[in-house]
Amino acid sequence: MVTEQMGAARTPGRPRSEKAEKAIIDAAIDMLAEGSGVAELSIEAIAARAGVGKTTIYRRWSSKEDLVVDALATLKAPIPELDAATVRENVVRYLAAMQQESHNRRTRCIMNIALSESERFPHLARRFREIAVRPRREALREVIQRGVDSGELRPDVDVEVAMAALSGAMLFFTKWRDNDDELPADLADRIADQILAGLRP
């Protein structure tokens, strides 16, 4: 679902235009999933695939890149609730959600394409980071900072490095593994336990 925060300015949604919006987003995602790079995508082709006119697209998005950003953002799983009592439990929830997301082959494929385009389409990469990456990181940062504030973690914890170690360890397994083995079911727990061991008083 596309929420208000995600896109460029657009007119208030009515049922009919919401349906068109979904068709447009779906068309863009399908084409990316089929291996189309951002450069090869055109508003014309997306419109044809979605069964709408080009002006319907331009009414909602000022550029192809903004449309792709919204399309990619719909693929991200929602941030899990991080309201458990302990840092460990919140970190495990966060990491488990990352692992879950990585199981979707289609999502992985599309994200790979988006990543590969970041040098060619810096605006796209920047917007995607703003609306899809940064809110997740802030959520994790808060979890760690709350742990520092409550004394569950050491006061001198390097919060940036702690975030990078937790997320990076999971990404290392989900994106950078050097084999095609199944990921262990307790991966989130193992990462949380080992890294948090270095952050406790």
List the beta strands (DSSP E) in 112-193.
none
Find the part of the chain contacting a second copy (CB under 8 A) among 9-17, 19-27, 95-103, 133-141.
133-141
- How far apart CA 35 and CA 81 sit, in angstroms, is 33
Output helix, strand, coil percentages for the chain, rounded to the nearest 5: 65, 0, 35
Tokens encoding 147: 């742990």
Asked if residue 148 binds a second copy (CB under 8 A), the reply is no
62 is a site residue for a second copy (CB under 8 A)? no
Distance (Å) of CA 124 to CA 65, 129, 148, 172, 181 = 5, 9, 34, 24, 32
Contact call for residues 73 and 111 (beta carbons, < 8 A)? no
Least distance CB 165 / a second copy (angstroms): 4
Kindly identify the residues of this chain, within the stretch 176-195, that bind a second copy according to CB under 8 A: 176, 178-179, 190-191, 193-195
Stretch that binds a second copy, among 9-17, 52-60, 72-80, 164-172 (CB under 8 A): 164-172
> Which residues bind to a second copy, rule: CB under 8 A?
35, 37, 39, 105, 108-109, 112-113, 115-120, 129-130, 133-134, 137, 157-158, 161-173, 176, 178-179, 190-191, 193-199
